[in-house]
């Protein structure tokens, strides 16, 4: 559980944020300068809010009403930064051991050997940080954070400096940490496709204020470019249960509220998964498309047809397929098909992005 309600002013920047989530990993999402890092620093105790309260799993980190303000070392937070912040003069083993400076409660701590094996860093324990790849450095930083027996993990854009392959490597490890360690995780990012693979709850920040907050499925449907940045395109995130793997076809079936969705089997390892569907990947038909290479077809009534801010020639069609679904198609196609609110439509899509 994590509950934050704080006000904090630095120079001309005024932060006033409140959110409360009982379960899951939480993303602080928004453009640069929205207040994400400042908020994480407040949770960590690196900065002190003017008023409010910060509560993590029942431990009050800060309360202006009662005068509580735990120092950082007593908050038991594991903080992983964008650049890993390893000590260059220490070996990997000594960098990891540096995370163990106090005696946490019995049963709360993983041993050095357990942490090393959990994050697969044993093969380079004797090396210096400057000999490591970006992904290896972040694994070491995560190991150091976990060895401190944290009450929560704070991650400030830990993938921002990594290439695609290393990003996926660390995302997979973070998913493992989230699943098996089971402590609150607060994750800072301005990359929507990144947090879709890891996060359960989202707080969208803009200029120090909360624009929206909630589950990732609900928030993604309502995001726009003012919050997410120019690269963002309308998308949805559907969660479901994996019901089958077919080795012959290489496909797995994800059962969602909109019906079954077929995905590449190698992208699915757990029973509960998420599929990410950008509006640009959805095509529409007024009849059931039988002869097509696209395997995922759902149907439902059209909710609305609106112009998009990007182009006068593109419209956004919202469909109620049991779950919200959006399609971006040309205005010419919409008029040719006679797409109107209330009519039943078939939507086809390639589900190309999944949480892993």
pLDDT score of 5 more than 80: yes
What average pLDDT does this structure show over 171-190? 88
- Cα of first residue to Cα of last residue in the chain, in angstroms, is 23
Q: What's the pLDDT score for residue 154?
A: 96
On the question of pLDDT at 338 being above 80, the answer is yes
Percentage with pLDDT > 70 across the chain: 90
Residue with tokens 């800072």: 188
Question: Which whole number is the average pLDDT over 263-285?
Answer: 80
Residue 91 has pLDDT above 60, yes or no: yes
For 119-151, how does the pLDDT look when each residue is reduced to its tens digit (9 = 90+)?
999 999 999 999 999 999 999 999 999 998 899
Write down the pLDDT at residue 274: 81
Crossing angle for the helix pair 164-181 and 134-147, to the nearest 10 degrees: 20
Confidence (pTM): 0.82
Phi, psi of 219 (to 5 degrees): -70, -45
Specify the pLDDT at position 190.
80
Q: Which is higher by pLDDT, 110 or 108?
A: 110
Please say if the pLDDT value at position 284 is more than 80. yes
Stated as kind and residue range, the H or E segment containing 138 is helix 134-147
Res. 353 pLDDT band, cuts 50 70 90: very low
Dist. CA 117–CA 29, nearest whole Å: 31
What is the mean pLDDT of the segment spanning 295-317? 91
Find tokens 């969208």 and name the residue.
204
Sign, CA torsion 119/124/130/136: negative
The mean pLDDT of the chain is: 88
Please tell me the distance from the alpha carbon of residue 32 to that of residue 38, in angstroms, as a whole number: 11
Q: Given this model, what pLDDT does residue 343 score?
A: 97
State both tokens at 101: 């400076």
Q: Provide the pLDDT for residue 278.
A: 86
pLDDT(260) > 60:
yes
Res 293 pLDDT > 90? no
CA distance 244 to 118: 28
**Assigned token pair, 329:** 């198609």
Whether the pLDDT of residue 191 is over 50: the answer is yes
Q: Over 90: is that where the pLDDT of 271 sits?
A: no
Percent pLDDT > 90 in the chain is 58
What number of other Cβ atoms are within 10 A of residue 53's Cβ?
18
Q: Dihedral, CA atoms, 81, 82, 87, 93, nearest 10 degrees?
A: 80
Give the range among 56-60, 177-181, 343-347 with minimum mean pLDDT.
Answer: 177-181
- Mean pLDDT highest for which of 56-65, 153-162, 303-312? 56-65
Q: From residue 33, give the alpha-carbon distance in Å to each of 81, 209, 227.
A: 17, 11, 11
The whole-number average pLDDT for the span 214-228 is 76
Least confident of 11-25, 55-69, 169-183, 203-217: 169-183
Partner residues linked to 14 by β-bridges: 9
CB atoms within 10 A of CB 153: 23
Give me the mean pLDDT over the 3-17 stretch: 94
């Amino acid at each position: 559980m994590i509950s934050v309600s704080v006000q904090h002013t630095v120079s001309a920047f005024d932060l006033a944020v409140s959110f409360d989530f009982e379960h899951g990993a939480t993303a602080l999402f928004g453009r640069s300068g929205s207040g994400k890092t400042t908020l994480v620093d407040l949770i960590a105790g690196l900065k002190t809010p003017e008023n409010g309260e910060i509560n993590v799993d029942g431990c009050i980190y800060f309360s202006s009403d009662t005068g509580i303000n735990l120092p950082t070392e007593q908050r038991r937070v594991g903080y992983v930064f964008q650049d890993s912040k390893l000590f260059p003069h220490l070996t990997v083993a000594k960098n990891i051991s540096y995370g163990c400076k106090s005696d946490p409660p019995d049963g709360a701590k993983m041993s050095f050997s357990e942490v090393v094996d959990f994050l697969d860093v044993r093969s380079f324990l004797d090396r210096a940080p400057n000999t490591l790849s970006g992904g290896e450095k972040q694994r070491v930083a995560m190991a150091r954070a976990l060895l401190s027996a944290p009450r929560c993990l704070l991650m400030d854009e830990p993938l921002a400096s990594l290439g695609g392959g290393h990003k996926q490597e660390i995302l997979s490890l973070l998913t493992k940490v989230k699943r098996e360690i089971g402590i609150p995780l607060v994750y800072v990012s301005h990359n929507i496709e990144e947090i879709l693979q890891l996060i359960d709850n989202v707080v969208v920040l803009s200029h120090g204020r909360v624009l929206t907050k909630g589950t990732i499925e609900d928030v993604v449907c309502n995001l726009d470019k003012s919050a997410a940045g120019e690269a963002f395109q309308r998308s949805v995130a559907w969660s479901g249960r994996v019901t089958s793997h077919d080795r012959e076809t290489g496909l797995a079936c994800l059962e969602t509220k909109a019906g079954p969705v077929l995905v590449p089997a190698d992208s699915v390892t757990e029973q509960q998964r998420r599929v990410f569907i950008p509006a640009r990947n959805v095509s529409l038909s007024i009849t059931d498309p039988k002869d097509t290479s696209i395997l995922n077809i759902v149907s439902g009534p059209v909710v609305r047809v609106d112009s998009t801010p990007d182009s006068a020639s593109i419209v956004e069609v919202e469909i109620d397929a049991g779950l919200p679904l959006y399609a971006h198609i040309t205005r010419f196609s919409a008029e040719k098909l006679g797409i109107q609110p209330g009519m039943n439509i078939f939507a086809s899509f390639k589900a190309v992005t999944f949480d892993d």
